[in-house]
A and B are shown apart, each in its own frame.
Chain A
Amino acid sequence: GENVEQHPSTLSVQEGDSAVIKCTYSDSASNYFPWYKQELGKGPQLIIDIRSNVGEKKDQRIAVTLNKTAKHFSLHITETQPEDSAVYFCAASTAGGSYIPTFGRGTSLIVHP
């Protein structure tokens, strides 16, 4: 089955800095890669996703890049703000059929004012 590794487990940055979270996956058949943000005491919420036919996708201050050859994808947050502090999860899956994503273990991002 799919295995997703996520690094780092904790990331501490100063407000205004950039933050990068990296994930690797094992199953070359995976073609859909979402990122979820979990604020304290809440359930995860999708913030951005990318499909395997695209190398990069941006949405304001967040972007995701995908390298299918190396089987890794990354989340980039620019100009970080204190409200970006949360746990971020990556996931990998095969789009279609019984959609069963495999999640990484999460990264706790702390943005210091």
Chain B
Amino acid sequence: NAGVTQTPKFRVLKTGQSMTLLCAQDMNHEYMYWYRQDPGMGLRLIHYSVGEGTTAKGEVPDGYNVSRLKKQNFLLGLESAAPSQTSVYFCASKQRGNSYEQYFGPGTRLTVT
């Protein structure tokens, strides 16, 4: 049981380039989330999904798109990267029901130059 995995672990992009971050979970969780973590800013929600085929915007969605085509995967896309998107990105998942624990992946460190 690998839990939540994220690919890649590190990436350097040039301004204007695009990329996709992949999050996968093997716990059959319904809910999945993408956060960004910046120094002194805590965890800010980018987008989330409450089930396969559904997505919704979080606190800081601009410049990002997501897709949840399969229940176990949640993809985060940057169409045209900007230096302001330099951050550490975390994916999390949660099961449906009365258990509210979020399970986080190990993070992806993205640098945009």
Nearest CB of A to B89, in Å: 10
Q: Is the interface of A mostly helix, strand, loop or mixed?
A: loop
Question: Size class of A's contact patch?
Answer: 20 to 34
**Which residues from chain A contact B90 at a C-beta distance below 8 Å?**
43-44
Interface residues of A in 57-113 (CB under 8 A from B): 89, 93, 95, 98-101, 103-106
| B40–A9 touching, CB < 8 Å | yes
| B100–A95 touching, CB < 8 Å | yes
**Which residues from chain A contact B106 at a C-beta distance below 8 Å?**
41-43
| B94–A99 touching, CB < 8 Å | yes
A45 at the interface (CB under 8 A from B): yes
> Which of the segments B14-22, B42-50, B66-74 contacts the partner chain?
B42-50
| B56–A32 touching, CB < 8 Å | no
Interface residue total, chain B, C-beta cutoff 8 A: 23
B31 at the interface (CB under 8 A from A): yes
**Which residues from chain A contact B42 at a C-beta distance below 8 Å?**
6, 89, 103-106
Interface residues of B in 20-42 (CB under 8 A from A): 31, 40-42
Nearest CB of A to B49, in Å: 10
| B104–A43 touching, CB < 8 Å | yes
**Which residues from chain A contact B84 at a C-beta distance below 8 Å?**
none
Given the known A-B contacts A43-B4, A43-B90, A95-B98, are A103 and B104 also in contact in the complex, defined by CB atoms under 8 Å? no
Nearest CB of A to B101, in Å: 5
| B40–A105 touching, CB < 8 Å | yes
Interface string of A1-23 (1 = CB under 8 A from B): 00000100100000000000000
Q: A43 CA to B42 CA in the complex, in Å? A: 12
Nearest CB of B to A32, in Å: 6
Which residues of A line the B interface, CB within 8 A?
6, 9, 32, 34, 36, 41-46, 49, 89, 93, 95, 98-101, 103-106
Which residues of B line the A interface, CB within 8 A?
4, 31, 40-45, 48, 50, 56, 58, 90, 92, 94, 98, 100-102, 104-107
When A and B form their complex, which 3 residue pairs have the shortest distance between CB atoms, in order from nearest? A43-B104, A105-B42, A103-B43
